[in-house]
Each structure stands twice: as structure tokens, then as C-alpha cells.
Amino acid sequence: MSIETPASAPAIADPAPLGLLGFGFTTLMLSLSNAHLFNSSDGVGLVLALAVFYGGGAQLVAGIWDFRRGNLLGATAFFSYGSFWLIFWYWAKEEGVNSEEVEERII
């Protein structure tokens, strides 16, 4: 007589490295752009691209991923920071007509 156990769902990996790197790297690039270490148009484009995809999108995914794992603190933090970066991107794109105006508004 054998006892069959139901197949369990595969374990979900920890999303903290993705969320922390998304926040840290995007924040670092914004800080370097604010310090004028990039050409103005290159720096703004880089920061906005990172804000929408890495800082925003990846952190939203990490927040949902953490929620699925049952970590509500991580889910709240990553989802909030991801939302912040998406709002930052939207604000900069809507308010700035060109990269010089966006840079002036960011700084």
C-alpha cells in the first residue's frame, strides 16, 4: 500500500535581489545625473529608461512576487517604490518637452 502525496507548487525564488537592485541602481543613476556626471541628454534618457523598466517595472514584479510568497512588508515596499518610479517617469515625460527641460525639472 502506497501513500500518494499531491504535487506541490514549485518554490518561488526570493525577489529581494531584483527589487533592491532595481531601486539602488536607478537611484544611483539619477544621483549621478544630478551631479552632472553624464551629458545632459544622455543622462536624462538613461534615467528615464531605467525608471520605467528597471526601477518601475522590475520592482512592481518583485512586489507581486513577494506578495505571492507571503512577505507583505517586501511586497509593500517594492510595489510602492516601483509605483514611485513609474510616476516619476510619467511626470518627467508629461512635464518635459525635451531633455533639457526634463533635466531642469529633475534637478
Q: What letter does residue 84 receive in the DSSP assignment?
A: H
| Residue 99: per-residue pLDDT | 54
- Residue 49's alpha-carbon distances to 44, 55, 63, in angstroms, are 8, 9, 20
Q: Give me the residue label for grid cell 518627467.
A: 92
SS3 content of the chain, % helix, strand, coil (to 5): 75, 0, 25
Phi, psi of 91 (to 5 degrees): -60, -45
- Output the nine-digit C-alpha cell for 39: 551629458
Collapsing DSSP to helix, strand or coil, 57 comes out as helix
Name the pLDDT band for 101 (thresholds 50, 70, 90). Answer: low
Span 28-45, pLDDT tens digits: 998 988 888 887 677 788
